[in-house]
Amino acid sequence: MSGTDGYIQTPPDAGGKRVDATEAINNAGILVERQRVEIPDEVQITSEWLVRMLVEQRMQNLLLAEGFGLRDNIDGLRDELSNIAGLDLTVPAVRELLTEDRIYYVSSNGSDSNDGLTVNSAFLTVQAAVNAVSALDVNGFDVTIMNGIATTTTTVMLKSYVGQTADFRGVMILGDRTTPANIAISVNGDGVLADAVQGNWFLDGMKFSCTGLGGEGCVHAINGSTVYVGKVDFGACSGSHMYAVNGATILTTEDYAITAAALRHAFAEFGGALRLLGFSGSTPYTPMTVTMSGVQVYSSFIRSTGLSKIESFAVTYTGGTITGQRYLVQLNSVIDTYGGGVNYFPGDVAGATATGGQYG
């Protein structure tokens, strides 16, 4: 038998001819329907290679056309043809397909070898829960990671997952919305990092602090990732509270607090975007308040550079004694306050535009 060049040598009982492989399969009259495989009785499958071609081609077509939704049918097809030809046609495992919303639990009493699906089988680390999510096809359902760890001291690396079907849906890491400081992400480095992540992530009910040279962002999104920030508390940060870079987007969804300063509160560069507004996923947007406290010193509260955009609408920054430059926009970037005026952002030094930057 030979099929590597797209042709097959048919079995002796079929004439022993060299024919086009695809044509041979089609001529065999083997029908693959959505629900089951029908093989007419008159067809005698005597070629192992023919069976393999059938499986590979038809299963691939099904996978491409239907995603993973026909797993049961694909399994049936594989089993049926395996029985006929005596072949091992096992296909690699595919993602678990959710059929309802899911909750993962993270607890100081947990273990990362648990499944995380109940309070009594919780994970020990947020990262383990994130890893579990990354193995899913969420199939349009929401996943919530209930973070019960008082202090997480290593960067939470968000990961891609499959199956997000709409904006403002996805996976949430949820701490304590009443007192976000009870659930701290306090890291010598980035707090939460989303690097080239596919699928929305929501962060809610946590306090972020990040220090050290690696602490570029309490929430650091890069390379096309999208992260939503809810009711959180931004603490001290050696970089930016929120840092979006290389086509990534960070959006705020509701009131939050800033209890300690960063070099910058929000920083977008190299095509990054920050949307500081009450983004609820629908119209109208909700006016929101950012409550600040204590003395906070910033290099620039908001900075946009390198073809980036930061927009803010109907946000009231209140409280605290805030010093430093209100904003800095450079290198053909935009800070759009929808007409909020030069004093829209807090600070005691006037904002500045340079090298094509625009503020409005």
Interface ranges with another protein (CB under 8 A): 277, 283-285, 287, 313-314, 316, 336-344, 360
CB of 342 to another protein, least distance (A): 6
SS3 of the chain: helix, strand, coil, percent, to 5? 15, 40, 45
Closest approach of another protein to the CB of residue 345, in Å: 11
Q: How many alpha carbons fall within 13 Å on the CB side of residue 340?
A: 21
Closer of 294 and 360 to another protein (Cβ) = 360
236 or 314: whose CB is closer to another protein? Answer: 314
C-beta closer to another protein: residue 8 or 277: 277
Residue 81 dihedral angles phi and psi, to the nearest 5° = -75, -30
How far, in whole angstroms, is CA 360 from its chain's centroid?
31
N-term to C-term CA, the chain: 71
Considering the complex, state which of residue 152 and residue 337 has its C-beta at the smaller distance from another protein. Answer: 337
Q: How far is the CB of 338 from another protein (least distance, A)?
A: 5
Please report how close the Cβ of residue 282 comes to another protein at its closest, in angstroms: 9
Closest alpha carbon to 330 in 294, 358, 291, 301: 358
Q: How many contiguous H segments (helices) and E segments (strands) does the chain have?
A: 4, 30
- Min dist CB 283 to another protein, Å, is 4
How far is the C-alpha of 54 from the C-alpha of 52, rounded, in Å? 5
Give me the amino acid identity at 33: E
Q: Output the CA torsion 159→127→228→299 (10° steps).
A: -110
Q: Least Å distance between CB 187 and another protein? A: 34
CB of 7 or CB of 285, closer to another protein: 285
Asked whether 86 and 80 are in contact (CB, 8 A), the reply is no
Of 287 and 356, the one with the shorter C-beta distance to another protein is 287
User: Cβ–Cβ contacts within 10 Å for residue 189, how many?
Assistant: 19
Phi, psi for residue 288 in degrees, rounded to 5 = -135, 160
